[in-house]
Homo-oligomer: A and B are copies of this chain.
Amino acid sequence: MSDLLERLRGRGWRMTAQRRVVAEVLDGDGAAHVHLTADEVHARAAGRLPEISRATVYNTLGELVSLGEVIEVATDGRAKRYDPNAHQPHQHLVCSRCGVIRDVHPAGDPLAALPATERFGFTVSDVEVTYRGLCPDCATAA
């Protein structure tokens, strides 16, 4: 966590109470597996700093994404989710019914599955894989 704040300071960030709280909400206490929406980040941040605005949360999240400290994931076509686990490549497993998200680590490099003949001249730099199914709770409740 303080690692993150150190990196941000090193990148010239002006350290404000708002930015500190957003970073703490995202990256605090063993939160490597959370995937919060912007509104959820705002709600938790407002718990510590009641006057923080939505615009600041959106701005800060956008900056963290630009800096590569947080990854934006869109698993449901609704609100984007913000993933602080940006330094460990991983993919996501999503329950189609309740929406719960798990980090998963597929075997091999997913990029390698796309042959050159299927790249159409693109410079392919990234791949995002979303596995979908039913979580154990939803499967038994079905």
Contact = CB atoms under 8 A, between A and B. Distances in A.
A125 B132 contact: yes
A66 to B, nearest CB: 13
Contact of A77 (B74, B102, B134): B74
Contacts of A139: 121-123
13 contacts: A96-B126, A102-B122, A104-B114, A104-B120, A110-B110, A110-B113, A111-B131, A122-B134, A122-B139, A123-B133, A123-B134, A124-B133, A125-B134
B123 A106 contact: no
A99 to B, nearest CB: 13
Nearest to A114: B106
A108 interface: yes
Contacts of A132: 124-128
Contacts of A76: 74
A115 interface: yes
Nearest to A126: B132
A124 B77 contact: no
A22 interface: no
Contacts of A107: 113-115
A11 interface: no
The winner among A80, A111, A124 for most chain B CB atoms within 10 A is A124
